[in-house]
Amino acid sequence: MRYLILSDIHANLEALDAVLATAEPWDRALVLGDLIGYGADPNAVVERIRALPNPVLIRGNHDKVGAGLATVDGFNHLARQAIMWTASELTPANREWVAALPEGPVVVDAMTEICHGAPFDEDVYIFDDLDARRAFRVLQRPLCLFGHTHVPAVFGFDGDLQMIGPPRGTSSVLTLKEDVKYLVNVGAVGQPRDGDHRAAYGLLDTDNRALSVLRVEYDLAAAQQKILAAGLPDVLAQRLAIGR
């Protein structure tokens, strides 16, 4: 089985379309939440994901707030402005669909589970070894794919915690050892925050136990112009160019 891994699209249609156009052949998509928020194309992104063949889906924190399932209280002022605009733009059908996205973690197969933030709490960020240790204690499968931080990262555990990576460059391949458990973040499709503006995504080949983290250029200027035209804060357009 070959899985396409998409996380933190954040209503960036240009980035999502670039990934879908360039990704190698895949059998099923794993979508790790935060389809909406920040970007200017929430409806188009939701509709692209809804059209994928039999994806495995979970929600993110922006999805919850945008669909009216949670308040904006935990958001900073930029995220708050963006998600309030997003909520007003979503069609009733798309809002209902987003609201129905399941909470992670979700078990995909014998090897893999997915979550948005952490397997013990969908809203918690996994940044360091303390966060990773908490996550490894509750894993249901040898590989857990997570998002939320927008930063590629690989942690391994074979009795000792290992910080592997982070993945860099246009393509990075991780061979998954059978005696090691893994926590992997492939980065953000639409809101990278590791200093690389290119859209990030993953491909998991379970037969060969290979996980690739990849980057692709997209029409950054078009995505920025849409943000400005929507009246969203200028900084949301500017940050796309620097990957922060």
**Tens of pLDDT along the chain (244 residues)?**
999 999 999 999 999 999 999 998 999 999 999 999 999 999 999 999 999 999 999 999 999 999 999 999 989 999 999 999 999 999 999 999 999 999 999 999 999 999 999 999 999 999 999 999 999 999 999 999 999 999 999 999 999 999 887 788 888 999 999 999 999 999 999 999 999 999 999 999 999 999 999 999 999 999 999 999 999 999 999 999 999 8
Q: What is the pLDDT of residue 157?
A: 97
State the sign of the Cα–Cα–Cα–Cα dihedral 187, 192, 194, 198. positive
- What are the E-state strand segments in 102-209? 106-107, 112-114, 143-145, 153-157, 161-164, 171-175, 181-185, 199-205
| List of residues 6+ apart from 208 with CB closer than 8 A | none
Residue 6's SS3 state is strand
Q: What is the pLDDT of residue 167?
A: 81
Helix axes 234-242, 77-89, angle to 10 degrees: 110
Q: Quote the Cα angle for 40-41-47, to 5°.
A: 165
Q: What is the pLDDT of residue 169?
A: 84
In whole angstroms, what is the distance from residue 108 CA to residue 159 CA? 24
pLDDT digits (tens, 9 = 90+) for 64-83: 999 999 999 989 999 999 99
Tell me how far the alpha carbon of residue 205 is from its chain's centroid.
18
CATH class of 2-242: alpha beta
Q: What is the pLDDT of residue 74?
A: 87
Tell me the pTM. Answer: 0.96
Write the DSSP symbol of residue 101: P
Q: Strands 153-157 and 171-175, how do they pair?
A: unpaired
What letter represents residue 129's amino acid? Answer: D
In whole angstroms, what is the distance from residue 156 CA to residue 164 CA? 7
Q: What is the pLDDT of residue 186?
A: 98
Q: What is the pLDDT of residue 168?
A: 81
